Chain A
Amino acid sequence: MLEIRNLHATVQGKEILKGLTLSIGAGEVHAIMGPNGSGKSTLANVLAGRDGYEATSGEVLFKGRNLLDLDVSERAAAGLFLGFQYPVEIPGISSINFLKAAVNSVREARGEKPYDAVTFLKVVREKAAFMGMSDEMLKRPLNVGFSGGEKKRHEIVQMLTLDPSMALLDESDSGLDIDALKVVAKGINALRGPDKAILMITHYQRLLDHVVPDVVHVMKDGVILRSGGRELAEELETSGYAAYGEKERAAS
C-alpha cells in the first residue's frame, strides 16, 4: 500500500526527515511513536503534500503510484486521508456541506458516481451516529465551537464517510478523555479491513490499547530507529523514551 524509501524532507530549509524507510501493506495497522520533535508530524504532512514540507530525496509509492508527484487533493482522491492533530475551524461553511463537496469530489476523481443528496445524508448520518455526533452538530460551521474531543471525533466521521484506503492519523488521541478515546478508537477500528491500511502517529501508547497495531515503529531524529510488534509499545510504556535520549515524560 505505502512504500517509503530513504525519504529526506525539509521544513523551512531545515532537514527533519533524514532517510526514513517504512513499508505498510494492505490490511495492516502501524503505529509510529516517538518523542516530541522526532519528525512524526512532519512525516504526516510530507505524505499529505502540505506546502512548506519539501521532500528533497527518496521515494514514496502509494498503491504503486509516485505519491510525491501528486498535489494535495490528488493524494486525497487517490485514497489518502490525514486526520489532523489540530483540525481547522471554518466559519460560514457547515460541516455537512463541506463534507458533501469533499466526498463527491473524491468519488468523481475515483470514477464513482457522486452521491445524490438523499444517499449522502443517509451515509453521513450513519457515520455520525456511529461516532456519537448529532445531526445538529453537522449543521454547525465546520469545527467552530467544537471541543477538542468533538473535533477529533469529527475527523473520524469524515474519514469513515470518505472511506480512504490509507489513513494517517496524527495524534488522534491527544486531548481526549478516556470515553472520547474509546469512541475514536471504535471509529478507527471500523476502517480496518483487508484493503485498508492505517498509520497512527502518537506520543503515547494508550490509543494502542484500543486499536491494536500489527507493527510499532519508534521514530527519532527523522528516522525509524526500531520496529517491532505490540510489545514494543508496552516496553515504551514502562521505560519511556529515555533509552532514545529523551527524559522521562512520555509514559502517560
Chain B
Amino acid sequence: MTTVSDAAELRLSPLALPEIGGKGEWAEARRSAARRFAEWGLPGQRLERWKYTSLQPLTKLGFRLQGDAAVEETGLPDIPGSERVVFVNGRLDKRFGTVPTLAERSLAGPVLPEADMALEALNMALAEDGYVLDVTGRREKPLHVVHVATSGVAVNQRNIVRLAPGAEATLIETFIGEGADYWVNTVTDMALERGAKLTHFKRQGESKEAFHTALASLTLAGDAHYEGLVVMTGSRLSRQEFALSLMGKRASCRLRGVSLGGQGQHLDITVTVDHKAPNARSNQLFKSVLAKKARSVFQGLVKVGHGAIGTDADQKSENLLLDRSAEVDTKPELEIFADDVACSHGATVGELDEAKVFYLMQRGLSAQAARALLVEGFVAELFDDVADAAIASYLREDAETAARHLTGGAA
C-alpha cells in the first residue's frame, strides 16, 4: 500500500517532496494535496494565525520519511485499564497490539476533504498510516495510542475518529520520541454524531530537540460532547491546533490544556471553535507555565454564526511566568454574529507569589520544592475532574515532572 518510497526525503527549502505513486482516487487526492502544499509552502508569520509562531527552523533541516526504529517495550508508557497500541514513526507496530488503520484505505471511507491549511495538505500528501477508530455504543476500555518518533524522521500520520449516534469513547494519545531533529506533523479528523461523547487526552512529551505540529479537526452533531485535555511538555517547537465545528443544536465542548516549557521551548495552542447551531456550549481553559526563555502562545477564536442563538462560550487563558526571560502571547478572540448569546473571555499573566513561597519554605520545603508545589497547585484543577483515576495520575505526573524541571529540581 505504500506509495511513497521508504528512502524518500522531505526538504522544505528548497522544497523537495517525494514522488507520490499509485493510481486511483486516493493517490490522486494526495498528489493534489502535494501540489497545494507546493504552491502554499509553510505558513509564514504574515498570516494572522501564524503571527507568533515561526516554522523557519524546519527549513534548515532535511527529513527522512521512514526510520529504522527498534522500539523496546520498556520505555513505552502504559496506563492501567487502557488498551494500548503503538505507532513508530507514523506506522502501527503490530508487536504491541493492533487497531484498524488508514493503511487499509477502504476503512477511511471516501477521500478526505481537501485540506485548506498547508500543514494539513502536507499531511494528506504524505500520510501512510494512522488509526481509524470507529465507535458504536459505549467503548469499554480507553484506547491509548502511543506515538514514538526517532531522529531525523518526518512523521505524517492521519487518524480518523468516528463516533456513531450515542456512542461513547475515551482516547488517550501519547507522543514521545528519541533523538533530535524529527518532526511530527499529525492530523486527526474526529466526527461525533448525534449525542456521541468523546473524551480525548493528549500528552505531548516529544524530545526537546523535536518539532511537533498537530491538528485536531472536529465536527459535532446535535447533543454531541467533546472533552479534550492536552498536556504539552515536549518539543523545541510545537503547535497544537484545534478546529471545532459545533454543527448541531446543544452540541458542547470543553477544552483544557497546559503548556509547561523551559529552555527556549516554543509551545503554541491555537483553537477555533465555530458555533454554527443554536444553544451550543463551548468552554476553554488553557494554562501555561514558563521558564528560561520559553514562550507560549494561545490563540483562541470563538465564532458565533448567524442563527447560533443561545450560544454559551467561555475562554480563559491563565499564564505563570517563573522568570523574566519567559514570554506569553495570549489572544482570546470573539466574533459574534448572533443575538442572545453569552460569551466571555479573559487572560491573566502572573508570577509566583513570593508570600506563598515564603510560607511553604517556612514549613521546611526547599525553595525549589516550594516553587514546584505552587506550580502543581496552579495546574491541579485541570486534572481534578478527570474521571478515570489512572489517566488523571498519568497526566498529572507528567505535569509534575515538568514542574520540577522548570523550578530547577531533578526529574
Contacts and interface: CB of A to CB of B under 8 A. Distances in A.
Interface of A: 48, 50-51, 71-73, 75-77, 81-82, 84, 87-88, 90-93, 98-99, 101-103, 105-106, 109, 141, 158, 162
Given A51-B354, A90-B356, A109 B364 contact: yes
A76 B376 contact: no
Nearest to B358: A50
B380 interface: yes
A80 B362 CA distance: 8
A156 to B, nearest CB: 13
Given A92-B376, A141-B377, A102 B358 contact: no
Contacts of B366: 73, 105
A158 B362 CA distance: 11
16 contacts: A51-B358, A72-B362, A75-B362, A76-B361, A76-B364, A82-B362, A90-B377, A92-B380, A93-B377, A98-B363, A101-B365, A101-B373, A102-B360, A102-B365, A105-B365, A105-B369
Interface of B: 353-356, 358-367, 369-370, 373-374, 376-381
A101 B363 CA distance: 9
Given A73-B364, A102-B365, A88 B353 contact: yes
Contact of B364 (A87, A92, A103): A103
Given A101-B365, A105-B366, A109-B364, A93 B376 contact: yes
B355 to A, nearest CB: 6
Contacts of B378: 92
Interface of A is mostly: helix
Contacts of A50: 358
B359 A87 contact: yes
Contacts of A106: 363-364
Nearest to B355: A88
Contacts of A77: 364
Contacts of B360: 90, 98, 102
B364 A93 contact: no
Contact of B359 (A88, A92, A103): A88
Contacts of B362: 48, 72-73, 75-76, 81-82, 84
Nearest to B383: A92
Contacts of A88: 353, 355-356, 359
Query: Considering the complex of A and B, which 7 residue pairs feature the smallest CB-CB distances, nearest first?
Result: A92-B377, A92-B380, A106-B364, A102-B363, A72-B361, A76-B364, A93-B377
A105 B360 CA distance: 11
Nearest to A102: B363
A102 B363 CA distance: 6
A84 B359 contact: yes
Most buried by B among A82, A101, A109, A141: A101
Contacts of B374: 90, 93
B377 A91 contact: yes
A46 to B, nearest CB: 13
A141 B380 CA distance: 10
Contacts of A71: 361, 367
Nearest to A168: B362
Nearest to A93: B377
Contact of A102 (B364, B376, B380): B364
B390 to A, nearest CB: 19
A162 B373 contact: no
Contacts of A92: 376-381
Contacts of B361: 71-73, 76
Contacts of A105: 364-366, 369
Contacts of B369: 101, 105
Contacts of A109: 364
B203 to A, nearest CB: 20
Contacts of A75: 362
Nearest to A78: B364
B363 to A, nearest CB: 4
A34 to B, nearest CB: 22
Nearest to B366: A73
Contacts of A102: 360, 363-365
Nearest to B374: A90
B359 to A, nearest CB: 5
A98 B370 CA distance: 10
Contacts of A91: 377, 380-381
Contacts of A162: 363-364
Contacts of B363: 76, 98-99, 102, 106, 158, 162
